[in-house]
Amino acid sequence: MRRIAETYLGDADLWPAILKASGLETLSDLDPGQMLTVPTDEVSAARSALSGSLARIQEANAIGAQVFAYETITEAISLHDSALDAEKQSKWRETLALAVDADSAAGEAYLLAEENRDKAAEARLSDRQGWVEGQRPEDLGWDDRELNAILVEEEKVRTLSRSTAQITFRDSGRLRLNANSHAVIQRMRVDPLKKREDAKVSLVEGDFYALLGGNSNRKSLEVDVPDVSAKIDSGDFWVRQDVSGAKFTNYDDEMVEISARGEQVSLGRNEGVVIRAGENPRAKIDVLTAPVLQTPGDDGLVFNASANLSWQDTDGAAGYWVEVAQDANFNQMVDSASGLVEPRFALNELEIGTYYWRVAALDQFGLPGRWSLPYRFTMRIDRAPPFLRLETPRSDIIYREAQVELTGETEPGATVRINGSLADVAEDGSYRFDLSLKTGQNLLDIVSRDAAGNETDLTREIVHMPDAKAEVSFDPSTPQLSARHFLAKDAEISLSGQSESSALMQILGEDGSMRTETRSDGSGAFAFTLPLNAPTEIFTLRITSSSGFQTADSFEVTRDQEPPRITLDAPLPRLTSVEWLALRGQISGAERVTLNGRDIPLTEGRFDEVITLTDGRNSIEMSAQDLAGNIKVESWTITLDQAPPTYVSHELKPASGGRINIEVTAEDANGLAKAAPFTLLANGEEVNGFLRYNKLSRSYRGVATVADAQAIRLDGIELQDDAGNRARVRLK
């Protein structure tokens, strides 16, 4: 169908028109020998009218219809767009009628523009991106400016972040204000007799790019920035103003005359200058050369609303400025991004249509270089995956040769990858690929990708089995004393590994008896559980491939059910006042040791760790595991107590014979020492002794003998807990 459309309608993408003209809805309605109706006359007339109306619209725009006949030219463009929509739906009569109406409206716009272009000294906001505001002399504040708003003398215009605005003068000369820019149109004057227009623009902040001249004799613009004035005869230039100063570049043969602090600079073609705030102009510099655009190529196709732009790095470039528009003159901007570090830019959410893009390199001062030649690309929507068929090799055949030829068919123009490698694809969509097979199952991943990025994926499994001894590799994570000498802790062992695909695997004991059997899967993976009858056994592994070829191998298994032994150099205390604990000892037969879940090293079977304790109970757990998986766990609980005992109260009771009964009450969470030394004052004389701890009364008790029991008092006592913390209490 695409070839028929290409032959008779001149465009392969018009094949749906043939279906519709033939009364068919989808390709699946076609039958061999069916007659088709090809609407050659209708298509030719409609497309000719479309082309003519587009040319007439472009002619009208070229003489200023966007300014002087905006409503009429807008109607012409709308009619032309409707004609394009009708064309996409293969409504050829409707397409022809709409295209004729568009041509007529464009002709009327051309006449209106030609009649009125030299009357009003006004400008128009011919394009806007994002948020654009304006303020006329009589306005109290800023207002949003709609597309095609008329701009007058002394009107202020500003753009916000990610916004641009294009101001078009009557002679089609234009200024493009970039993001975060603020300009004032100070003067616009017209001389209809000489067809000459003069303008003066004050750039308060930001930057703009100017392309002047159009269809009149005017190529003069006066630009004012703070502390700098410029008389510009150039028709192609750029200027920027910010807190650091001003920057100018000229891309035209006509001059840009700049004055600052009494000095003048004349910029010729492709020259720029930087004027720092409060300084004289610096020396002129040559702007950077135009970048070389790469993808998409000129007249390239992109699909499904996204386009990734890229270009070659330019020598000396510190950044890049990219512009994307819907027209070759960049009047209808789609996106503008400056300060790009990498030579690439991603566009998303694009509508169907044609786009133009160009790039300028930025030097270290931020001066934009020459614009690249614009490239054009077309956005299409294509979400249908390509047709894909595999003819050979077949999945139901076991291939004994290591090399086979892969053949099949796909959509013409699509690429085919076999397991990531490109296949040779002919113009008719047939493809071939020399495929190397590995022993066993071979998974083929065949991907066809069309120009729109749509993919069709086929997978096939191909078996290759040469007559050769089957190789066996066991899972390396299985514990081994040496190569193929495995270690088990139970009365059975589970083994897995890799061998020939779909092979019968039989395990025989030393006496030749069958102990167990399994079969490897399509990838060659196998697993089996083998019961053990002795501490050490040797087994024979007999492998029979799908082709009947048989090979043998052997392995050995030893049982180990003894866990490692953990021996401490010294017993650990139950209670301590020291916040660090030395844990030392020896472990025999361990492969891995953890302390409170943390792996610790062993040096010749010994460990030496220091543990920091926290106040209160501390749980310590040590786990040791050997190669066979036997585990030994030891745990201890140690209480850290660094708080001394607390004195509560005391009582002195005189008794007969000059004796004094002493009782002191104290508290401690982890237990008090059995004795406490004290000092008693009797008429100024010290009496020293020890009190004994009474568990029943939970107090210290003792007796002291004094000469005079009339003037006595307890002067001090030293308390100690079971952890060794002391408290010396002085009493008054």
Find the CATH number of the domain harbouring 261: 2.60.120.1440
**Can you give the pTM of this predicted structure?**
0.44
Residue 716: burial class (beta carbons within 10 Å; 0-12, 13-18, 19+): middle
Instruction: Flag residues of the chain having pLDDT under 70.
Output: 116-121, 171, 188-198, 213-221, 547, 709
Confirm if 298 and 310 have CB atoms less than 8 A apart: no
Q: What is the pLDDT of residues 448-473, one digit of tens each?
A: 988 888 889 989 888 887 777 888 99
Specify whether 20 is located in the same domain as 76: yes
- The CB density around residue 570, as the number of other CB atoms within 10 Å, is 9
Q: Which residue has the tokens 């003066």?
A: 200
Specify whether 130 is located in the same domain as 214: yes
What's the rounded Cα separation, in Å, for the pair 677 and 679? Answer: 7
- The CB density around residue 175, as the number of other CB atoms within 10 Å, is 25
> At which of 286, 305, 336 does a domain end?
286
pLDDT of residue 619: 94
For residue 707, the enclosing domain spans 646-730
Please spell the DSSP secondary structure of 327-359, one letter per residue: STTS-SEEEEEEEESSSEEEE-SPPSEEEEEEE
Specify whether 7 is located in the same domain as 65: yes
State the chain's maximal CA–CA distance in angstroms. Answer: 144
Domains: count for the chain:
7
pLDDT of residue 216: 47
Phi, psi of 248 (to 5 degrees): -135, 145
**CB contact set of 41 (below 8 Å; sequence gap of 6+):** none
Residue 304: burial class (beta carbons within 10 Å; 0-12, 13-18, 19+): middle
Q: Helix H segments across 89-206? A: 92-116
Residue 556: burial class (beta carbons within 10 Å; 0-12, 13-18, 19+): middle
What's the rounded Cα separation, in Å, for the pair 551 and 502? Answer: 14
Specify whether 440 is located in the same domain as 549: no
Give the residue among 583, 584, 566 at the shortest CA–CA distance from 631: 566
Specify whether 348 is located in the same domain as 422: no
Q: Which amino acid is at 414?
A: A
Specify whether 141 is located in the same domain as 263: yes
> At which of 531, 559, 587 does a domain end?
559
Please spell the DSSP secondary structure of 400-450, one letter per residue: -SSEEEEEEEE-TT-EEEETTEEPEE-TTSEEEEEEEPPSEEEEEEEEEE-
Specify whether 569 is located in the same domain as 611: yes
Phi, psi of 110 (to 5 degrees): -60, -45
Specify whether 513 is located in the same domain as 656: no
Specify whether 367 is located in the same domain as 399: no
Give the residue among 441, 437, 438, 443 at the shortest CA–CA distance from 503: 441
pLDDT of residue 688: 92
Q: Which residue has the tokens 């929509």?
A: 85
Q: Is the dihedral of CA 485, 487, 492, 494 positive or negative?
A: negative
Q: Which residue has the tokens 């998409």?
A: 296
Bond before 564 cis per omega within 30 degrees? no
Taking the CA atoms of residue 287, residue 288, residue 293 and residue 298 in that order, the dihedral angle to the nearest 10 degrees is: 30
Q: What is the pLDDT of residues 301-351, one digit of tens each?
A: 888 788 899 999 999 999 999 999 988 888 888 888 888 999 999 988 888
**Number of C-alpha atoms within 13 angstroms, CB side, residue 703?**
7
pLDDT of residue 189: 61
Residue 65, both tokens: 């219809």
Bond before 296 cis per omega within 30 degrees? yes
Confirm if 167 and 178 have CB atoms less than 8 A apart: no
> At which of 97, 116, 135 does a domain end?
116
Residue 100, both tokens: 């004729």
Specify whether 591 is located in the same domain as 634: yes
Please spell the DSSP secondary structure of 554-612, one letter per residue: EEEEEE--PPPEEEESSPPPSEES-SEEEEEEEEES-SEEEETTEE---BTTEEEEEEE
Helix, strand, coil shares, percent, the chain, to 5: 15, 50, 40
- The CB density around residue 52, as the number of other CB atoms within 10 Å, is 15
The arrangement of strands across the sheet holding 492-498 comes to: 473-474, 492-498, 525-531
Specify whether 148 is located in the same domain as 278: yes
Parallel, antiparallel, or unpaired: how do β-strands 550-559 and 485-488 relate? Answer: parallel
Residue 236, strand partner residues: 211
What's the rounded Cα separation, in Å, for the pair 121 and 629? Answer: 94
pLDDT of residue 125: 86
What's the rounded Cα separation, in Å, for the pair 246 and 259? Answer: 11
Tell me if residue 180 falls in helix, strand or coil: coil
Residue 712, both tokens: 């006595």
Find the CATH number of the domain harbouring 687: 2.60.40.10
Residue 543, strand partner residues: 505, 551
Interior CA angle at 178 toward 176 and 180, to 5°?
A: 140
Specify whether 660 is located in the same domain as 516: no
What is the H or E stretch that residue 641 is in? none
